[in-house]
Structure 1
Amino acid sequence: MRASVSAAQDLGMPAIYLHLLAELLHTIGVDERDLLLRVGLDPARLNATERRVSQTQASEFVTRAIVESGEPALGIMLAGKLKLSLHGALGTAVMSSRTLEEALELIARYLTLRAPHLQVNRQLLGGNAWYTVTCDIDLGPLQSFILDAMLFGCVSMGTQLTGAIIEGSRIMRRGPEPAYFHRFRQRIAVPVEYDATDDALVIPVTELDRPVRFTDDQLAASSRAQCEEALRQLTEDAGFACRVRRVIETSYPFPPKLARVARTLFMSERTLKRRLQEESASFQNLVDQVRLERAGELLSNTGMNLSQIADALGYADAANFTRAFKRWTGINPSHYRTKARQATGPGREPLALTI
């Protein structure tokens, strides 16, 4: 029996996908901001390719989005909005590959970075390469959404990569054809077959050596190295403290109360505290780490005054924020802002800050 989302290891989901889904909801008349806030997510924190959202929150948002929009085909609709550049280092690595086959191999190897719990296995059958997608846990309503977005998105992104539709390719989906699918059949560039034994993308072997339009060997090497490092980091960040931190990072209002985070993670406050203690961590320290990083971003990249930053970080006033910042870093916020802008310039990465 497969584990459920709440019981499985939560590696998070890239926040950018929820940002895109929120934009999509807006176009069909759903108040996406209200929906995000009710799930406890900060809309302003989702437009980032590498930031991750707790999978439990992602699942709740997608489920509510489907119910409240009355649109069960949100995964297919989202697939049309997926661009390679939105997939972080993996998107860059795929775009800089030499051939379609190489690009698909990268997706299979690093898929965990973008869609945790999904795996891609390749099999050669009758002159076709079957890229079969499986899931190691029960994602509930999220599963059909993710598989739709991934498989239909691969068709769209394959066209982006090669500049043309991959002739002879098709999508296989398990289960009966959904009642809504007839509305989208003409929009999808390849045949789709339901009642299949697997969820898969099928491509003729003869098409795999198609060249990628954006080939760049140097960029390919550097982006693959980034993917390896990101995969290593994600594996190391699988602990409970990192799971709590992901909830804190994207929470609204900020900072979140311990009780709210505990409810999000389906546990009591006492259990949350105990599990953090087992990893020599504390809830307040995690909140302070996120506060410090946000402070660095706001001081380096915005013109917000100290009172505005204090309010954004949940402090009563600028004086309380200044005292906390100086306690963490040894310098006051204004001094840090001056140093950061001299060192990196506006719009660049802020100076590293640690507690």
Structure 2
Amino acid sequence: MKGLDSPRSALTGWVLAIIRAMRKQGVDADSILREIGMDPSLLEGGYSRYSQADVSQLWRQAIDLTGDPDFGFKVAAEVRPATFHVVGYSMSCSATLAKALHRFAHYCRLISDSATATLTEAQNEVILEFHFDTGGQPPIYQTVDTVVASVLSYMRWITNERVVPVEVRFSHQPVGSNEAHWKFYGCPVRFLEAQCCMVFRKEDLERRILSSDEELASLLDGAANRHLEQRMAGRFATRVRDLMIAQLPHEVPSKAETARLLGMTERTLLRRLKVEGTTFADVLQQLREELAFQYLQRGMCLSEVAYLLGFSDNGTFSRAFKQWTGRRPSTVFREDLPAKAA
């Protein structure tokens, strides 16, 4: 399915935040860019992109050369509107933090091909969940920490207030000091969780943004939509996949709801997937299979995995998994988890 296999990249604005943090740590960032083969002239414009492979290599160099396990928080402090391209400016013009986060989640693919975000409400709380798709390669956990910290740092910057989540959860093991995480977030931070997310009180997201101008934000949304359409051309299956993630685990992703979220008919949805050589069922199956392996390798119990993937019970999930892979879910846990933990 070619729509899911396109080369991944990230905006130069995001790389610039990393470069600024490296320089403040006394690292010769320019020589590192040359060594990797990243053209520094691209940093001068906000529309260019670097390959995700190069960005990952830059991260590894930054971690090694700074020797700072909490380097990600230094990067988060360098985040400004241009870091998120036109999305950052529309967020800063949003009336409230809630509207700003809705824009971030909707246009997340424009910022990076390797990350998506969903925003859901549960009683009096709002959950901003992050999903990382690195093409089968294990994510650099410092980058995961930095993405989450950067969003919160930017929320604080556009409100000029210390916004504090209710809780922050990561699916990976602790990286750096727990003390640094507590100090930055100001709330409980949990690791090895099913989700990577920040949980907020709904009332806290009703805070007004200092530079709010919804009329200007709407104009910027138009620009963001154009850039997103250009960026996702020929990758319609990826957009469908993102919307499926947003529907799980609350419901089984449906053609009707996915088409509604895309602003099109079911017939158009299916036709555009067919053009890319895939079907709605194929995209859903691949997504569930990928997520199932991720969850099982973290040691999650079958009932939790079944719930997160939208299955009615353990047995239904187990049968589906065996049909996909020819294996029982329990064999993934026994065979793969020790290798991951080694």
Are the counterparts in 2 of residues 63 and 141 from structure 1 also a CA contact under 8 Å?
no
Are the counterparts in 1 of residues 17 and 83 from structure 2 also a CA contact under 8 Å?
no
TM (normalized to structure 1)? 0.59
Are the counterparts in 2 of residues 169 and 202 from structure 1 also a CA contact under 8 Å?
yes
**Amino acid of the structure 2 residue aligned with 1:133:** F
The alignment-based identity, stated in percent, is 18
**Amino acid of the structure 2 residue aligned with 1:71:** D
Is the radius of gyration larger for structure 1 or structure 2?
1
1:73 is matched with which residue? 70
2:96 is matched with which residue? 99
**Amino acid of the structure 2 residue aligned with 1:25:** M
Confirm whether residue 86 of structure 1 aligns to residue 71 of structure 2. no
**Amino acid of the structure 1 residue aligned with 2:84:** H
**Amino acid of the structure 1 residue aligned with 2:160:** G
Q: Alignment partner of 2:170: what SS?
A: strand
Q: Which of 134, 153, 156 is the aligned partner of 2:131?
A: 134
Are the counterparts in 2 of residues 97 and 215 from structure 1 also a CA contact under 8 Å?
yes
Q: Report the CA distance shift for 1:13/1:128 in structure 2 as closer, same or farther (over 3 A).
A: same
Equivalents in 2 of 1:167, 1:149: separation in Å? Answer: 16
Q: Alignment partner of 2:44: what SS?
A: coil
Are the counterparts in 2 of residues 121 and 133 from structure 1 also a CA contact under 8 Å?
yes
- For 1:187-206, what aligned pairs fall within 5 Å after superposition? 187-206=184-203
Q: Which of 106, 111, 119 is the aligned partner of 1:109?
A: 106
Equivalents in 1 of 2:164, 2:26: separation in Å? Answer: 36
Q: Alignment partner of 1:137: what SS?
A: coil
Are the counterparts in 2 of residues 171 and 200 from structure 1 also a CA contact under 8 Å?
yes
Confirm whether residue 29 of structure 1 aligns to residue 30 of structure 2. no
Q: Which of 120, 132, 136 is the aligned partner of 1:123?
A: 120
Equivalents in 1 of 2:148, 2:82: separation in Å? Answer: 17
Q: How far is 1:103 from its partner? A: 0.9
- In structure 2, the gaps of 5 or more residues are 236-342
- In structure 1, the gaps of 5 or more residues are 239-355
Equivalents in 2 of 1:67, 1:234: separation in Å? Answer: 32
Equivalents in 2 of 1:179, 1:220: separation in Å? Answer: 37
2:147 is matched with which residue? 150
Deviations 1:158-214, CA, capped at 9 Å, x for gaps = 122333233553321123323434345324444423232211011112223222221
Bigger shift: residues 89-98 or 11-20: 11-20
Equivalents in 2 of 1:156, 1:58: separation in Å? Answer: 21
Deviations 1:138-176, CA, capped at 9 Å, x for gaps = 574654233222211122111223332335533211233
Q: Alignment partner of 1:211: what SS?
A: coil
Instruction: Extract structure 1 runs of 4+ deviating beyond 4 A.
Output: 138-142
Deviations 1:260-279, CA, capped at 9 Å, x for gaps = xxxxxxxxxxxxxxxxxxxx
Deviations 1:105-128, CA, capped at 9 Å, x for gaps = 111100011122312123333421
Q: Which of 162, 168, 171 is the aligned partner of 2:159?
A: 162
Task: Give the number of aligned pairs.
Answer: 234
- For 1:21-60, what aligned pairs fall within 5 Å after superposition? 21-60=18-57
Q: Report the CA distance shift for 1:168/1:201 in structure 2 as closer, same or farther (over 3 A).
A: closer
Q: Report the CA distance shift for 1:17/1:237 in structure 2 as closer, same or farther (over 3 A).
A: farther
Q: Alignment partner of 1:195: what SS?
A: coil
TM (normalized to structure 2)? 0.61
**Amino acid of the structure 1 residue aligned with 2:89:** T
Deviations 1:43-82, CA, capped at 9 Å, x for gaps = 2332332211122222222222222333343322211111
